[in-house]
Amino acid sequence: MIDNIQGLLLDLDGTLFHGGIMIPGADKLISGLRSKRIPFLFVTNNSSRTPANVAAHLSAMGIEAHEQEVCTSSLAAARYIAEESPGAAVAILGEEGLHRACEEEGLQIVTDSPQYVVQGIDRSFTYDSLTRAARWITGGAAFVLTNPDLMLPSDDGMMPGAGTLGAAIEAASGVKPVIIGKPHRHLMNYATSRLGIDPKDAIVVGDNMRTDIAAGVNAGCRTVLTLTGVTTKDNLEQYKEWTGVSPDFICNNLAELRNLLGV
């Protein structure tokens, strides 16, 4: 068992569910954490959904979840900007989750002369929005990207994520964004600050070596890899080589994870 767990940062897709289907034991894991009073947050790179949407998605699968337990890359991006420049003028290329997060952090949402361009997944992205973003950034606005995911699974195949749009803006402006989501450290450090704990006392749990485990290592947290999604026994060594990181613990399934956590 792992000692001194002050908080758990849990990945969602591939760790607790696949699309709309719960991974066996995810409901018992969450109820066990609640009954043992181990603090946790659901931590997702998804920037389009609001915390309430994410909690509703989990609850619909039978995993008890509340919106205040959800950390998204949009919340962390808005907090990052608000801490650097309270009330800053921000142009948003993104969806509801990012708009709401910026409003709630007291940022001033503008459509001209922004101090920051913050960009997430944006399924209404156009040539015109690319042009405006590139001009603002070239003109001196800071560029913040919620998450670097290039492609995402959807019901009818893979689709471009926030990172692909960010790459277009980077190419057009010549400016690299500050990246908030996994594998960068900002999202995890936002989550540990919300729990009020030191990163070294937090455990990051996820199925993806490139995003979850790398983010945990970058943020100074301990890490648990679950072989419930992207990483398998067969590709684990290859991922270790590609990423240069290793998880502190590996669980084959969520029953093993519950044993490891003692819940």
Instruction: State the residues that interact with Mg ion by CB under 5 A.
Output: 11, 13-14, 207-208
Tally DSSP H helices, then E strands, for the chain. Answer: 10, 15
Longest dimension (CA), the chain: 54
**Smallest distance, Mg ion to C-beta of residue 127, A:** 32
Catalytic (active site) residue 11: yes
Q: Least distance to Mg ion from the beta carbon of 60, Å?
A: 18
Nearest CB to Mg ion, comparing residues 99 and 210:
210
Distance separating alpha carbons of residues 33 and 55, to the nearest angstrom = 16
If the CB atoms of residues 24 and 87 are measured against Mg ion, the closer one turns out to be: 24
Nearest to 186 by CA among 75, 112, 107: 75
| DSSP class per residue in 96-132 | HHHHHHHHHTT-EE-SSS-SEEEE---TT--HHHHHH
**155 given a catalytic annotation:** no
**Whose CB is nearest to Mg ion?**
14
Round to whole Å and give the CA distance between 62 and 228: 18
Query: What's the CA angle centered on 39, arms 52 and 75, to 5 degrees?
Result: 40
We find the least distance from the C-beta atom of residue 101 to Mg ion, in angstroms, to be: 21
- Strand, coil or helix: what is 263? coil
* Residue 241 C-alpha from the chain's centroid: 23
251 by DSSP, 3-state: which?
strand
- What does R_g of the chain's alpha carbons equal in angstroms? 18
Minimum CB distance to Mg ion, residue 116 (Å)? 28
Considering the complex, what minimum distance in angstroms separates the CB of residue 252 from Mg ion?
Answer: 16
d(CA 89, CA 140): 13
| Distance in angstroms (rounded) separating the CA atoms of residues 247 and 240 | 9
For residues 43 and 73, give the distance between their C-alpha atoms in angstroms, rounded to a whole number. Answer: 8
The residue annotated as part of the active site, out of 3, 13, 198, 234, is 13
> Active-site positions?
11, 13
